[in-house]
Amino acid sequence: MAHIPDGVLALPVLISGAAATFAIAAVGVRKLQNDRIPQAAVLAAAFFVSSLVNVPVGPSSVHLILNGLMGLILGWTAVPAILVALLMQSVFFGHGGLITLGVNTFNIAVPALLCAFVFRPLLAKVEGKQVLMLGMLSGFVGASLTGVLVGASLVLSGAEYLTSGKVILMTYIPLVLAEAAITGVTLVFLKRVSPEILFVRASKP
């Protein structure tokens, strides 16, 4: 569960999440380049669709996030792309909520940024199996950190959510494995057939 619904989180958590998301989204929009818009639109659409497919895991459910992949390809642009996709999901399908939009965006976008800063500079330096490993590591880190942030958001909203937070972390175990595999395979494919999409040339996140 990466989409926390309205009516769950405490007001301080909501305000902090909204403020932090506004800040990083503003930076992402400012860094958005015209030639990045098509990639951002495609990945936002992929994120939008994949997040709608929920797979039951125990008492909860999980869905693909793809934030590790978005961070690798888009860098800072991943933030507004994730924000727009989450907004559309909330408005059209009721996933998450408008009040929790800031927190939900933060929980998914910050891990994407971490992957952008840590792993993206390595894209030009790796080949073959190293590309696969880099992608798998990025997918694993992105999904894992989102799970931690979702759990933290709940626990910070009240001690009664401690058990729920632990359950959510457990349900993320199969998700992070799927994210790692999908991100790794996708990265290998993209670097082989269209490396310019990855900004393999020297660039900053």
Q: What is the pLDDT of residues 62-88, one digit of tens each?
A: 678 889 999 998 899 999 999 999 998
Q: What is the pLDDT of residues 179-203, one digit of tens each?
A: 999 999 999 998 888 777 775 443 4
pLDDT at position 201: 43
Q: CB neighbours (10 Å) of residue 166?
A: 12
- % of the chain exceeding 90 in pLDDT: 44
Are 3 and 86 spatial neighbours (Cβ–Cβ below 8 Å)? yes
Question: Can you tell me the mean pLDDT for 7-20?
Answer: 94
Phi-psi region of 94 (alpha: psi -120 to 50; beta: other; left: phi over 0): left
Q: Is pLDDT larger for residue 159 or for residue 81?
A: 81
- % of the chain exceeding 70 in pLDDT: 90
Listed in sequence order, the residues at least 6 apart from 74 whose beta carbon sits closer than 8 Å to its beta carbon are 36, 39, 40, 43, 81, 112, 116
Q: How confident is the model at residue 145 (pLDDT cuts 50, 70, 90)?
A: very high
Q: What is the pLDDT of residues 34-60, one digit of tens each?
A: 777 888 888 888 877 776 665 555 445
pLDDT at position 23: 96
Q: What would be the CATH architecture of the domain defined by 11-198?
A: Orthogonal Bundle (1.10)
Question: Can you tell me the mean pLDDT for 86-114?
Answer: 90
- Kindly tell me the burial class for residue 59, based on how many C-beta atoms sit within 10 Å of its own C-beta (0-12, 13-18, 19 or more): exposed
pLDDT at 122 over 60: yes
Q: Is pLDDT larger for residue 31 or for residue 56?
A: 31
pLDDT at position 205: 54
So where are the chain's domains?
A: 11-198
Q: Give the position of tokens 């992929």.
A: 46
Nearest-5° Cα angle at 135, 123 to 139:
130
Question: Can you tell me the mean pLDDT for 17-33?
Answer: 93
